[in-house]
Amino acid sequence: MDLYEYQGKQLFERHGIPVSEGRLATSSEEARAAAEELGGPVVVKAQVLTGGRGKAGGIKLAATPDDAAARAGDILGLDIRGHVVRRLWIERASDIAREYYLSITFDRGEKKPLFMFTTEGGVDIEEVAATKPDALVRLHVDPLEGFQPWQARRLVYGGGVTDAGEQKQIAAIVERLYAAFVETDAMLCEINPLIVTPDGEVRALDSKFTVDDNALYRHPDVAEMRDPESYPPEERAAREKGVTYVKLDGEVGILGNGAGLVMSTLDVIALAGGRPANFCDLGGGGDAEGVVDALEVITADPQVKSILFNIFGGITRCDEVARGILAALDRMTITHPIVVRLDGTNAEEGRRLLQEAAPPNLYVEPTMLDAARKAVELAR
Ligand code: GDP
Ligand code: MN
């Protein structure tokens, strides 16, 4: 789960990482009131779950409350890389002498958390990594040993920070960021830029914070930060219904039972010259309830043009799944063409049930490849 900048900053604050004071606003009027309360110049910042807001016009300085209200009006409703701005963070403006970068994430290859630090902050870190790889200091933390203070010093000295006051503040932030990362079960904590003010004060000016979805049950306060409006309708439906759902980019909606079968179905769709729009994993289930839930999620995605059921009956019997599909189609109206491939336990019985009772938009195909070809053809 990705957090908004202001939510990440709340967590930073809880862990003692310095941030600027700010207020949330959802209208020009609230932005004006926030600026009045904060006093002095403010920054009006679009809260969207994507980066590069500055370049997209989602971050503006405002000298007065009137100015803040006007900038809020400009930014609210703006579309930043497919994310519509509905919330603003109004923050006391900072004077910036230098912009650094600090993050901690998982290095799956090493199976360890990885710190990255550079004094070349503010811009895309990918660009720094590509053009000035030596400027980027990387350091793994052994999760069994935990964080060691020398690691913060190595990052700071390795990055070439020479000012003693800065060194000390950054080292403290590194240690606190590690605590925030571990204690929140985070996948990523990124500060870009980590600024140094002309007075030599170090602060997190931005935050990117991602928490492991599978650990959210341990962090009800973080789970509560979820903004349902930030997810497309089908992802919201999947979450509510507890359906395993992944959004992709093509036009064929896929339902399968079991992760391995679903993965190979994606490949076969590609082989047939198509692209999957999304997929649902029915797991072991194939009852009408599960099929209705999955179909509702899949058809809520406007990109879906055809649907492919790929079921291998093991413990779940194909005739049960066929009954589930028919019951589901009785309960809901689906206009998309649906292709079904059943194999495994009681496959013949399942196919017979479908062929006898199926509506005209349902096609039964004997093999996975035939089914994929049919689904791709129908999607065109
Ligand atoms: P991003 O574009 O989504 O990464 O948003 P950031 O919060 O990182 O802001 C982008 C840039 O806007 C920063 O790198 C700063 O240069 C600038 N910026 C943001 N807040 C302030 C501020 O308080 N004062 C000044 N002078 N610049 C700011
Ligand atoms: Mn940033």
CATH code for the domain in which residue 358 is found = 3.40.50.261
Phi, psi (5° rounding) for residue 189? Answer: -130, 115
248 in the same domain as 207: no
CA of 205 from ligand 1 middle (Å) equals 7
**CATH assignment of the domain containing 157:** 3.30.470.20
CA of 198 from ligand 2 middle (Å) equals 19
Please give the residue that has the higher pLDDT: either 258 or 15. Answer: 15
- The whole-angstrom separation of Cα 31 and Cα 156 is 37
**What pLDDT score does 286 carry?**
66
Distances (CA, A) of 70 to 25, 36, 62, 74, 237: 13, 14, 9, 6, 36
∠ Cα 211 3 223 (to 5°): 60
The residues carrying an active-site annotation are 101, 190
Please give the average per-residue pLDDT across 178-192, as a whole number. 97
In the predicted model, is pLDDT for residue 232 greater than 80? no
Residue 105 lies in a domain: yes
Query: Atom of ligand 1 at shortest distance to CA of 192?
Result: 8
Query: Atom of ligand 1 at shortest distance to CA of 122?
Result: 14
163 in the same domain as 88: no
In the predicted model, is pLDDT for residue 292 greater than 90? no
- Of 191, 223, 255, the residue at which a domain comes to its end is 223
In the predicted model, is pLDDT for residue 194 greater than 70? yes
- Of 223, 242, 273, the residue at which a domain comes to its end is 223
Please give the residue that has the higher pLDDT: either 85 or 235. Answer: 85
**What pLDDT score does 241 carry?**
82
Query: Atom of ligand 1 at shortest distance to CA of 50?
Result: 3
- Residue 360: cis peptide before it, omega within 30 degrees of 0: no
pTM above 0.85, yes or no: no
Please give the average per-residue pLDDT across 347-360, as a whole number. 92
CA of 161 from ligand 1 middle (Å) equals 21
Pocket probe for ligand 1: among 12, 49, 59, 88, the residue whose CB has the most ligand atoms within 8 Å is 59
**CATH assignment of the domain containing 34:** 3.30.1490.20
Under 8 Å between Cβ of 11 and 104: no
264 in the same domain as 218: no
356 in the same domain as 294: yes
Q: Is the CB of 310 under 6 A from ligand 1?
A: no
Please give the average per-residue pLDDT across 166-184, as a whole number. 98
**What pLDDT score does 230 carry?**
82
366 in the same domain as 241: yes
Minimal CA–CA distance to 327: which of 348, 357, 356, 305? 357
148 in the same domain as 75: no
Instruction: Provide the number of structural domains found in the chain.
Output: 3
∠ Cα 288 290 295 (to 5°): 90
Which strands, in side-by-side order, build the sheet including 362-365?
Answer: 244-247, 276-281, 252-256, 306-313, 338-344, 362-365
Print the domain residue range for 182.
98-223
In the predicted model, is pLDDT for residue 177 greater than 90? yes
Strands 79-80 and 137-140: unpaired
65 in the same domain as 126: no
Q: Is the CB of 190 under 6 A from ligand 1?
A: no
28 in the same domain as 86: yes
Confidence of residue 285 (pLDDT cuts 50, 70, 90): low
Confidence of residue 290 (pLDDT cuts 50, 70, 90): confident
Confidence of residue 233 (pLDDT cuts 50, 70, 90): confident
Residue 362 lies in a domain: yes
Ligand nearest to the CA of 100: 1
In the predicted model, is pLDDT for residue 282 greater than 90? no
Please give the average per-residue pLDDT across 5-24, as a whole number. 98
129 in the same domain as 251: no
For the segment 317-326, what is each residue's pLDDT rounded down to a tens digit?
899 889 989 9
Q: Is the CB of 203 under 6 A from ligand 1?
A: no
In the predicted model, is pLDDT for residue 70 greater than 90? yes
Query: Atom of ligand 1 at shortest distance to CA of 91?
Result: 23
CA of 371 from ligand 2 middle (Å) equals 46
Q: What is the mean pLDDT of the chain?
A: 93
Strands 42-47 and 276-281: unpaired
129 in the same domain as 79: no
202 in the same domain as 88: no
